[in-house]
Structure 1
Amino acid sequence: MTHQTTWKGAKWLLILKFAQETGYTPKAVEQKINSGKWPYGKIWRNSPDGRRQINMVEYEKWVESD
């Protein structure tokens, strides 16, 4: 089954903006990253300036997974 995203904004968001859009706290996001629940390069990555970015398309897929 192909995922159809409903997200219409930027593909990659900084953690604070992601938190504002989803309701997760920045701390909860960091915990998902640090625990390995969200794989690097798929749901999140470091931008060239070292800041963590969240991929909204892959996040939606994660939310809808079993």
Structure 2
Amino acid sequence: MTEAVMLAPTRYVTVKLASQLIGLTVRAIESKIARGTWIEGRQFRRQDGNIYVDLRGVEQWVEKGTV
């Protein structure tokens, strides 16, 4: 019998993984960042040339209904 494995993502994930987890395309996420809809330090962070999406920040953004 195979044992089930449960995985929980970390708070910060790549744009590609965030896309799969929250149901937005990579392009949609990149657009939200470029237009300033998502704020650096709230919904995403930059580190070593990469963008990491803050899943808690995105969750709060969705709950507030912020445009």
- Aligned-pair identity (%): 29
Give 1:24's aligned residue.
Answer: 24
Structure showing greater radius of gyration is: 2
Which residues of structure 2 form unaligned runs of 5+? 1-7
Query: Residue 15 of structure 1: CA displacement?
Result: 0.2
Aligned length: 58
Q: Which has the higher contact order (CA 8 A, sep 6+)?
A: 1
Segments of 4+ in structure 1 off by > 2 A? none
| Matched ranges for 1:22-61 at <5 A | 22-47=22-47, 49-61=48-60
Query: Residue 9 of structure 1: CA displacement?
Result: 2.3
